[in-house]
Chain A
Amino acid sequence: MVSQFFAAAFGTVAFSLLFHVPKKYYPWCGMIGGIGWIIYLLISPKMGPSEASFFAACIVVLLSRFYAIRKKCPVTLFLISGIFPLVPGAGIYWTAYYMIMDQFQNAMSKGYETCKIAVAIVLGIIFVFEIPQSCFRFGMKTENP
């Protein structure tokens, strides 16, 4: 589990470098990516991958908004890098793989699952962004964003 966390965190930091996130935000990006992935891992065996993606996406967005307000920078910086481990890259691969192997049953179910995960992430992001900004300000000294 610990190694999974660090792999996710380092992977996220590597991608935030590719997206030119300023250096000072790397630790936060890595932490958000790592936590999102751990949540996914914890929930996935019990409830299935799409539900796990939903909750992990929610947590990632919550954390991103939380730190965006505290660090006074656009939420996109944390969100884009943090959500990366959840994007179903492996799903795309397996769909293509089964397609090539003429296993259409498997290809269909993998493709369907990939779409479900994508929709779950979408819902996670949309719902958490409906929470008003002021809810994230608790415990802050200054009121200005």
Chain B
Amino acid sequence: MDLLERVQYETPGPDEKLALDAAALAGHILLESGAEIFRVEETIKRVANAYGMEGEGAFVLSSGIFLTEESHKHGFYANVKHIPLSGVHLDKVAAVNQLSREIENGMHTPEEALKKLNEIKHMPEKPKIAEILATGVGSGCFCYLFGGSLFDSMTSFFVGCILSVFLGVMGKRKKRTSKIVLNITSGMLVTALSILFYLCKIGDNLNHIVIGGIIPLLPGVAFTNAIRDIASEDYISGTVRMVDVILVAFSIAMGVGVMYTLFSRMVGGIVLW
């Protein structure tokens, strides 16, 4: 059978298209919420299989999904999407995972699945104040773990809170802030605040306050995912994420270093600590 003939009578039915849309959307949510590559591929395949399609044509990178389906029965389907990471939302990963298993057990029609996925996609955010306090508590606790006194931890808590506010403001900007600039300035801000608090005699040891302050900036999620991608032989995505990790870590160190240098130059080389 030649190609023209095939194209003519194999238009995908509405249900097949919806089902594949649902599979693609499930993958989309997972990828942008910080799931590993193999989980995204697995989920797309699981959803597609549940609706009687193969789902073998899914190719997932750390920044995009390519999904095609071609068979004698269902015709052609192609879906290519660029998906930037929009912030870690592990609750969405859990919810999509749960939903995909329900779909596998035949509990949802494609329309229902799409509706549910859209609900998951627009899950309510945590209130801003909770985020700010959590960043502060994280900073304080980790300052204590890395050898700070309770007084240091308290200072670190405030530094973390202010850092969170700063990150929130930068996130609201219309033009997307470059990751390198954002991490360097955040590192600088943490260091500057810590020095300021320290000079006002709030806190015992400057080093520990800064360590606590930079902890929320660390790319822990990207690091873990990079490892797991490389371990499951998704080398392209793993490498990209690892480069991201190294870049962010380097930027933070740079921000801290720049601020220290600036400050010691300003006060004329007096040792601060």
Measuring CB to CB, which residues of chain A are less than 8 angstroms from any residue of chain B?
Answer: 3-4, 7-8, 10-11, 14-22, 37, 72-74, 76-77, 79-80, 83-85, 87, 89-90, 92-93, 95-97, 99-100, 118, 121-122, 125-126, 129
Task: Given A74-B39, A92-B214, A129-B231, decide whether A18 and B89 contact each other with a Cβ distance below 8 A.
Answer: no
Contact B227 A22 (CB under 8 A): no
- Other-chain residue from B35, B207, B223, B253 in contact with A76 (beta carbon distance below 8 A): B35
Interchain CB contact (< 8 A) of A92 among B134, B140, B253: B253
Contact of B220 among A10, A83, A96 (CB under 8 A): A83
**Complex Cα distance A79/B93, Å?**
13
- List of B residues within 8 angstroms of A89 by Cβ: 142, 146, 211, 214-215, 218
A32, B216: Cα distance in complex, Å: 19
The smallest C-beta distance from A100 to any residue of chain B, in angstroms, reads 5
Contact of A8 with B145 at beta-carbon distance under 8 Å, contacts A18-B216, A126-B231 already known: yes
Pick the contact of A125: B126, B134, B218, B224 (CB < 8 A): B224
Contacts between the two chains (Cβ within 8 Å), count: 140
Secondary structure of the A side of the interface?
helix
**What DSSP secondary structure best describes chain B's contact surface?**
helix
Closest to A101 in B: B260
Rounded to whole angstroms, the CA-CA distance of A10 and B257 in the bound complex is: 29
Q: Which of B144, B214, B220, B225 is within 8 Å of A93, CB to CB? A: B214
Q: What residue of chain A has the Cβ atom nearest to residue B97's Cβ?
A: A74
B134 proximity list for chain A (CB < 8 A): 14-15, 17-18
Alpha-carbon distance A84/B138, docked complex (angstroms): 10
Task: Evaluate contact between A87 and B36: CB separation under 8 angstroms.
Answer: no
Are B254 and A96 closer than 8 Å at their CB atoms? Answer: yes
Q: Which residues of A contact B130 (CB under 8 A)?
A: 17
Residue of B nearest to A118 (CB): B223
Determine the chain A residues whose CB is within 8 A of the CB of B39 once the complex forms: 74, 76
Given contacts A14-B137, A17-B130, A21-B90, 20 further A-B contacts (CB under 8 A): A10-B141, A11-B137, A15-B134, A17-B126, A17-B134, A18-B135, A18-B138, A19-B90, A22-B94, A72-B98, A73-B97, A76-B35, A76-B224, A80-B90, A83-B220, A84-B220, A89-B215, A96-B257, A97-B256, A129-B231
Q: In the complex, which of the residues A8, A72, A118, A122 contacts B141, with contact meaning CB atoms closer than 8 Å?
A: A8
Give the interface size bracket for B toward A: 35 or more
Contact sample, A vs B, 11 pairs, CB 8 Å cutoff = A8-B141, A11-B140, A14-B137, A19-B89, A21-B94, A80-B88, A80-B225, A84-B218, A92-B214, A118-B223, A125-B227
- Interface residue ranges, B against A (CB under 8 Å): 34-36, 39, 88-94, 97-98, 126, 130-131, 134-135, 137-138, 140-142, 144-146, 207, 210-211, 214-216, 218, 220-221, 223-225, 227-228, 231, 249, 252-254, 256-257, 260-261
CB contacts (< 8 Å) of B216 on chain A: these are 15, 18
B257 to chain A, nearest CB (A): 5
Q: Which of A79, A80, A99, A118 contacts B257 (CB 8 A)?
A: A99
B210 CB, min distance to chain A CBs, angstroms? 6
Asked whether B227 lies within 8 Å of A97 as measured between CB atoms, the reply is no
Is B137 within 8 A of A20, CB to CB? no
Residue in B97, B214, B228, B254 whose Cβ sees the most chain A Cβ within 10 Å: B228
Contact A85 B142 (CB under 8 A): yes
